[in-house]
Amino acid sequence: MKVDVLLGLQWGDEGKGKIVDVLAPRYQVVARFQGGPNAGHTLEFDGIKHVLHQIPSGIFRSDIQNIIGNGVVLDPIVFKREIENLAKYNLDLISNLFVSKKASLILPTHSLLDAAYERSKGDSKIGSTLRGIGPAYQDKVARLGLRVGDVLSPRFAEKYQKLVDAHKAILDYYSFDYSAVLPQSEENFFAAIEFMRQFKLVNSEYIVNDALAAGKTVLAEGAQGSLLDIDFGSYPFVTSSTTMTAGASTGLGIAPRQIGEVFGIFKAYCTRVGSGPFPTELMDETGEKMRQEGREFGATTGRPRRCGWLDLPALKYAIMINGVTQLIMMKVDVLNIFDTIKICTHYRLADGSLTEQLPYDLCDEAVEPVYTEFKGWSQSLEGIHDFDAVPQELIAYVKFLEEELKLPITFISTGPDRQELISREAPALLGA
């Protein structure tokens, strides 16, 4: 068996949580492989909306093993809160949730460091979620960090104190006052560590590889998006992990040749939270309409998301670096209200030439998007589950994208609920 990977092709918040939840019944294992509580994955069913930050989105389906992999940075305080919020659903989390001992721990001082670094950057701040992600990955790579497995060590408190003393010295250097908040956070942290000890803390690479060897199906759930990848995103306005398909290999301990399908999730337009280049961003009334119609406010921080038209050069880049095998288009319903819908097909560079490629540094190089316009379908998609019942204008939009991207769009999402989905998985694709 192979591991299928599901990930975001834009700047995050594409709707990964919804689709993991939809596809979960096909899998026996669902595993997060990177990121941490900077993620906010929304699932909606039976009239209830759930937002998950660190727990894999397979958690609501019984009989699925959910794994928090070694590539994740885990905040025990958020972990405890998430589990407590799930208590009313009677899920068997002790049996169904597995946490890699090799996952890195986010300490309270990591979040403070995040804030100190951001403050020191002034206008050029990244717009981090301030969940301590960057500083925790920094300590991992510097070989200073604590890992989940350390909580089982009798020397945990000692190891913790050593690292926190080093963090305090950095915070002092940045004149960042931590005295008011740290004592309470530390109390919460140690309570959460105690809480975490009751869960299955495991060598999850064995669980995943044993599952594959036993013929079980595994889905790797990405967080963030490809354009936030530490290597290929719009550096430095990125997150600190490998958000692309390759990250599933290092973040779970599976060989690259074990990767099967790669589901690339994208919105029918673009959004971005935080700072950094966004070529198709709409700073006008149209952008505001998209934000309101799509309820584009962050699931983790509540910040308004920047909005713009779909960007094909960026999407093609994300498809290339991830080896996407099928596409899933989200939030198509948000475009119902637009008479004209645009897609950016190229960038015009400063010298007037056109390109389909992302320049080395979008921060420094001004690109002007070149658009193709489509007539909107201007009707509700509610209740449509069959592609044959889709308005002609939307069919033209989908067909154009499939030709440009050279991949099938197998699902089209038309609303936040589990049920609001058009499946096109039948082998005969559009026009065939």
Where on the chain is the footprint of Mg ion (CB under 5 A)? 13, 40, 299
Question: Annotated catalytic, 110?
Answer: no
- Per-residue contact track with ligand IMO, 77 to 116, x per CB under 6 A? ----------------------------------------
Which backbone phi and psi does 350 adopt, to 5 degrees?
A: -60, -30
> Do 424 and 387 contact (CB within 8 A), yes or no?
yes
> What is the SS3 assignment for 376?
coil
Stretch near ligand IMO under the rule CB under 6 A, chosen from 37-45, 188-196, 248-256, 352-360: 37-45
Q: Which does 127 bind (CB under 5 to 8 A by kind): ligand IMO, Mg ion, ligand GDP, none?
A: ligand IMO
Q: From CA 179, how far away is CA 413, in angstroms rounded?
A: 47
Run of H or E including 304: none
Q: Which two tokens mark 36? A: 């941490």
For residue 3, the minimal CB distance to Mg ion (Å) is 22
Question: Annotated catalytic, 172?
Answer: no
Closer Cβ to Mg ion, 220 or 299, answer by number: 299
> Do 104 and 146 contact (CB within 8 A), yes or no?
yes
Q: What is the greatest pairwise CA distance in the chain?
A: 66
Q: Which two tokens mark 128? A: 């981090």
Under rule CB under 6 A, which residues in 1-40 are in contact with ligand GDP? 8, 12-18, 40
Q: Which does 331 bind (CB under 5 to 8 A by kind): ligand IMO, ligand GDP, Mg ion, none?
A: ligand GDP
The angle formed by the CA atoms of residues 416, 67 and 64, to the nearest 5 degrees, is: 65
Is beta strand 48-52 parallel, antiparallel or unpaired with respect to 41-45?
antiparallel
* Residues facing residue 371 across a β-bridge: 344
Q: From CA 287, how far away is CA 247, in angstroms rounded?
A: 32
Q: Which does 239 bind (CB under 5 to 8 A by kind): ligand GDP, Mg ion, ligand IMO, none?
A: ligand IMO
> Do 258 and 2 contact (CB within 8 A), yes or no?
yes
Q: Which of 3, 4, 5, 8 binds ligand IMO (CB under 6 A)?
A: 8
If one asks whether residue 12 binds ligand IMO (CB under 6 A), the answer comes out as: yes
For residue 303, the minimal CB distance to ligand IMO (Å) is 7
Active site residues: 13, 41
> Which residues lie near ligand IMO (CB under 6 A)?
8, 11-13, 35, 38-41, 126-129, 131, 133-134, 223-225, 228, 239, 273-274, 299
> Which residues lie near ligand GDP (CB under 6 A)?
8, 12-18, 40-42, 44, 294, 299, 330-331, 333-334, 413-416
